[in-house]
Structure 1
Amino acid sequence: MAKSARSVPSLVPAILALMVLLGLAYLLFADLQPSRTEHTVSPPIEIEDPEIEEVTIEPVAPTEDQQAIIEKEAEQFVDHLGSKAVTLNDKQGEFVRKDGTIVIPKIEKRETTIGQLLADKNLSADTPVTIKYTETEKQQTTLQALDDSTEDKNTFVTIEQADGSRQQRPLIDLLNADNVDKSAPITVITEQDVQKKTTIGQLSQSDLPEDRLLEAEIDKGSIELSVNDIVKSGGLEDSALFYLHRVTEADRQGLWGIIQSGLIQRFRQGLALEGINKDLVRVTIPADADEPLPTGLSSFLGKVLNNKVESSYIYNYTTSTMGHNPDLIYPGQQLILIHFSTKELKDIYQFFADQRNEQAQTFAIH
Structure 2
Amino acid sequence: MEKFSRTRSLWLAFLLAIIVLGVFGYLLFTDGEHFKKQEIVDPPIELAEPELPLEIIEVDDSLPAQEEIRENEAEIFVENLAAEPTEAVRLTEGEDQFVRSDSVIALPSLEERVTTLEKLLDDEALADDTPVSVFFTEETREETTIQKMVESKEDHIAPVTIETESGETITAPLSELVKRDDIDKNQPVTEVRQEKKQIQTTVAELAKSDIAPQQEVTVVINHGNKEIALEELLAGEPIEKDSLLYLHRVTEADYQGLWGIIQSGLINKFRRGMRLEGMGPQSTLSVTIPADADEPLPDGLSSFLGKILNQKVTSSYVYNFRTEAMGRNPNLIFPGQQLIMIEFEADEIRDIYLYFAEHRAEEVKTFAISN
- TM-score, normalised by the number of residues in structure 2: 0.51
Aligned amino acid, residue 296 of structure 2 = P
Is the alpha carbon distance of 1:76 and 1:247 closer, same or farther for their aligned partners in structure 2, counting shifts above 3 Å? same
**Structure 2 counterparts to residues 24-103 of structure 1, below 5 A:** 65-83=65-83, 84=85, 85-103=88-106
Structure 1 residue aligned with 2:108: 105
Contact 2:109/2:322 (<8 A) preserved:
no
Structure 2 residue aligned with 1:271: 274
Contact 1:316/1:335 (<8 A) preserved:
yes
Is the alpha carbon distance of 1:104 and 1:339 closer, same or farther for their aligned partners in structure 2, counting shifts above 3 Å? same
Q: Which of 346, 350, 353 is 2:354 aligned to?
A: 350
Mapped pair 1:121 → 2:124 = yes
Q: Which of 305, 310, 313 is 2:309 aligned to?
A: 305
1:105 positional shift? 3.1
Structure 2 residue aligned with 1:253: 256
User: Hey, what's the Cα distance between the residues in 2 that align with 1:316 and 1:227?
Assistant: 14
Contact 2:107/2:321 (<8 A) preserved:
no
Is the alpha carbon distance of 1:219 and 1:318 closer, same or farther for their aligned partners in structure 2, counting shifts above 3 Å? closer
1:64 positional shift? 5.7
User: Hey, what's the Cα distance between the residues in 1 that align with 2:300 and 2:349?
Assistant: 25
User: Hey, what's the Cα distance between the residues in 2 that align with 1:218 and 1:270?
Assistant: 36
**Structure 2 counterparts to residues 1-366 of structure 1, below 5 A:** 65-83=65-83, 84=85, 85-106=88-109, 121-124=124-127, 127=129, 211=208, 220-232=223-235, 235-274=238-277, 275=279, 278-359=282-363
1:353 positional shift? 1.0
User: Hey, what's the Cα distance between the residues in 1 that align with 2:324 and 2:103?
Assistant: 18
Unpaired runs of 5+ residues, structure 2, are 1-62, 113-117, 133-200, 211-219, 366-371
User: Hey, what's the Cα distance between the residues in 2 that align with 1:118 and 1:319?
Assistant: 23
Contact 2:110/2:322 (<8 A) preserved:
no
Aligned amino acid, residue 73 of structure 2 = E
Counting aligned pairs with the same residue, the percent is: 50
SS, match of residue 276 in structure 2: coil
1:309 positional shift? 0.7
User: Hey, what's the Cα distance between the residues in 1 that align with 2:280 and 2:241?
Assistant: 25
Compare CA radii of gyration and give the structure with the larger one: 2
SS, match of residue 220 in structure 1: strand
1:273 positional shift? 1.3
SS, match of residue 352 in structure 1: helix
User: Hey, what's the Cα distance between the residues in 2 that align with 1:253 and 1:301?
Assistant: 17
- TM-score, normalised by the number of residues in structure 1: 0.52
SS, match of residue 105 in structure 2: strand
User: Hey, what's the Cα distance between the residues in 2 that align with 1:276 and 1:355?
Assistant: 25
Contact 1:309/1:326 (<8 A) preserved:
yes
SS, match of residue 354 in structure 1: helix
Contact 1:87/1:105 (<8 A) preserved:
no
Contact 1:98/1:233 (<8 A) preserved:
no
Is the alpha carbon distance of 1:265 and 1:107 closer, same or farther for their aligned partners in structure 2, counting shifts above 3 Å? farther
Unpaired runs of 5+ residues, structure 1, are 1-62, 110-114, 131-196, 362-366
User: Hey, what's the Cα distance between the residues in 2 that align with 1:212 and 1:315?
Assistant: 32
1:351 positional shift? 0.8
SS, match of residue 80 in structure 1: helix
1:218 positional shift? 7.5
User: Hey, what's the Cα distance between the residues in 2 that align with 1:105 and 1:312?
Assistant: 21
Tell me the number of residue pairs that the alignment of Structure 1 and Structure 2 aligns: 222
Aligned amino acid, residue 102 of structure 2 = D
1:69 positional shift? 1.7
Question: Aligned Cα RMSD in Å?
Answer: 3.6
1:68 positional shift? 1.6
